Amino acid sequence: MELELELIQHQLSMTKSSMEAAYSNFENVQDPDLIDCYIYEWNAAQKRYKFLLNQAKQIKQSLENAV
């Protein structure tokens, strides 16, 4: 379980970086198609981040209950 939590924490970090990159790219483009692209990328990363947070919370609760 602890290894799984570490993996999720790493994925959270990577996903946060993806969100930051999408936001940065969004701020630096003017083409409407690219604007849409970066909005979709940011939204997808945000949904993944929320999913991973929930997974981490469940694992932490399982670890606490096991003690």
Residue pair 35/22 in contact (Cβ under 8 Å)? The answer is no
pTM: 0.89
The mean pLDDT of 3-15, rounded to a whole number, is 97
How confident is residue 45, by pLDDT bands cut at 50, 70 and 90? very high
Percent of the chain with pLDDT over 70: 100
Instruction: Work out the number of other CB atoms within 10 angstroms of the CB of residue 8.
Output: 20
Distance separating alpha carbons of residues 33 and 19, to the nearest angstrom: 18
pLDDT at 67 over 90: no
> What local confidence, expressed as pLDDT, does residue 6 receive?
96
